[in-house]
Amino acid sequence: MSRRLAAAVIIMLLFATSISAASLSGRFLAGARAGYSMSDAIASSGYREETYLYPFHGFSVSIPLEYYFTDTVGIGTGIELIQKGYTYYHTYNGGFIADAGKGRLYLSFPLKAVMSIGRDDLFVTFGAGGFISFMLQKTERGRIMTSAYSQSGENLVETYSESGGAGEHDRIFDAGLLADITLSYSPDDHLLLTASAAASFSLLPDEIRYQRKQTMRYNAALTITLGIMYMTGGAAE
């Protein structure tokens, strides 16, 4: 997926550099976006043995806001509801096996610089900055297979699902860096249809308090969203 995303970025860059600047000076943009998120935990070298981490699949819903000081440069913020987490597979010496998905629902607030290049009706926007977020809910769904056997001779497998608010050992606050790219098409003077890809990386480790400096995990996430935005202001008004 990372190679496809890189290829898409290169194509958009080549396209953007071949056309003139969009007239966005003084314009304010607001709208809604929704789509898919894929996140993973990047663990330190001291992470527990026999534990394997895999991506977690979730969703992203956001209300983006942008204001342009010039035809190409502006500032972006908004609010986002996003799922992050990781999937793990763990084996134990006694034959005990567990695999589960650990999800976290965050309310996130980005702040970034944005630059748009293109025509008035079709342009590419690049954004870079940071975010802060707060955990709203945590979930864990998985299965446990023990070394014990049922009467039929098969391993005993238990499935479970847990959901609730943040506990006393959870890190509720998160912060990190982000970058995104958005392709926008404007069918009229005020409406924008968008397709976006964004990457974020947490600067704070996602580990519970009693495991700090033992299981350092950092969330990295990729989101792909579609949206609609409304433009107001600018010289054309």
pLDDT of residue 195: 95
Q: Which residues of the chain, if any, have pLDDT below 70?
A: 1-23, 43-50, 90-100, 145-158, 160-170, 206-217, 234-237
Q: Is residue 93 part of a domain?
A: no
Q: Is residue 179 part of a domain?
A: yes
pLDDT of residue 88: 74
- Start-end of H helices in 68-201: none
pLDDT of residue 235: 46
Q: Is residue 161 part of a domain?
A: no
pLDDT of residue 40: 81
* Domains: count for the chain: 1
Q: Is residue 144 part of a domain?
A: no
> Do 24 and 71 form a contact (C-beta atoms < 8 A)?
yes
Place of tokens 């990372």: 2
- Say if pTM beats, i.e. exceeds, 0.85: no
pLDDT of residue 1: 45
CATH number at residue 187: 2.40.160.20
pLDDT of residue 33: 97
pLDDT of residue 172: 83
Q: Is residue 148 part of a domain?
A: no
pLDDT of residue 161: 62
Q: Is residue 51 part of a domain?
A: yes
> Do 160 and 143 form a contact (C-beta atoms < 8 A)?
yes
Q: Is residue 149 part of a domain?
A: no
Return the DSSP state at 72: S
Which residues span the domain enclosing 44? Answer: 2-87+109-136+167-233
Within 10 Å of residue 236's Cβ, how many Cβ atoms? 13
pLDDT digits (tens, 9 = 90+) for 74-124: 999 999 999 888 787 766 655 556 666 778 899 999 999 999 888 778 889
Q: Are strands 56-68 and 73-91 parallel, antiparallel or unpaired?
A: antiparallel
> Do 84 and 57 form a contact (C-beta atoms < 8 A)?
no
